[in-house]
Amino acid sequence: LSIVIPTLNEEQFIGKLLDSLANQSVVPQELVLVDAFSKDKTIDEGKKRQQVLPQLKFFQIPKHTVARQRNFGAAKTSSGDILFLDADMELRGEDDLKKYYAEVLKRTPDVAVAENLPDSNYWKDAVYFQVEDALFKLSRFFWPVISARNLYVSRETFNKVGGFNEDVAVGEDQELVHRILKQDGKLVFLKSVKLHTSARRVAKDGRMRHALKMILFGVNIIVKGRKKSKVDYEFGNFKDQKK
């Protein structure tokens, strides 16, 4: 398994993710971090973990889209299975990666995703993510909405569809999944494991406002297409906001 992590100013979070990967009962064969020239200590935080994660490799490319970072990282790996993780994810259970990959091997999807839980204990965050997950699963029947916070794609499928569309700034994960499904690809929502992700964007926007913003963005894509649709979605420079 290869894990690809795109970063931009993630010094507050990348260490948590890498520590959680180092503590897994089964570690990835390849681990690639692709940074868009962060202005903080993201790379320094990563390099602190190289002794416990000797397979960890770093690359830096100019900022364009997160899609380009993910494609670049995938090209630097060789294993047949790719797991894309956002920098603010955590695998809190020591068997999380083992369970994730075991279910992938058993169910043989072209693309798969596990449920995301918030990193906070705030009840409003828990409710938000539960509702979001339910809507994601429901969306598969009419217009799939998939988040690349954690996203598995088989390399064969990834290469077949040409990877992420690097001209799509936001919603590139949905766009990739839609292209896979159009070619009769198999989408699986994993049941054996749940991963944790930061609630920072939800907290910054406000839960109702963030949900409305994402819904309106989806409607705009359906009506206007991706090239004419825009959303105020910031990358990098986020603080650890849990409430």
What is the torsional sign of CA 125, 90, 187, 190? negative
Q: How confident is the model at residue 239 (pLDDT cuts 50, 70, 90)?
A: very low
Instruction: Please check the confidence at residue 232 and state whether its pLDDT lies above 80.
Output: no
Q: Give the residue-averaged pLDDT of 41-66.
A: 96
* Most confident residue range from 69-78, 114-123, 192-201, 212-221: 69-78
Report which DSSP code applies to 229.
-
Q: Give the residue-averaged pLDDT of 60-70.
A: 97
For residue 203, the model assigns a pLDDT of: 62
Whole-structure pTM value: 0.87
Q: Give the residue-averaged pLDDT of 203-208.
A: 61
Q: Where are the alpha helices (DSSP H) in the chain?
A: 14-22, 42-47, 66-75, 96-107, 123-139, 155-161, 172-182, 200-205, 207-224
Q: How confident is the model at residue 65 (pLDDT cuts 50, 70, 90)?
A: very high
215 vs 129, higher pLDDT: 129
* CA distance readout (Å), 31 to 21, 78, 171, 196, 239: 10, 11, 24, 19, 25
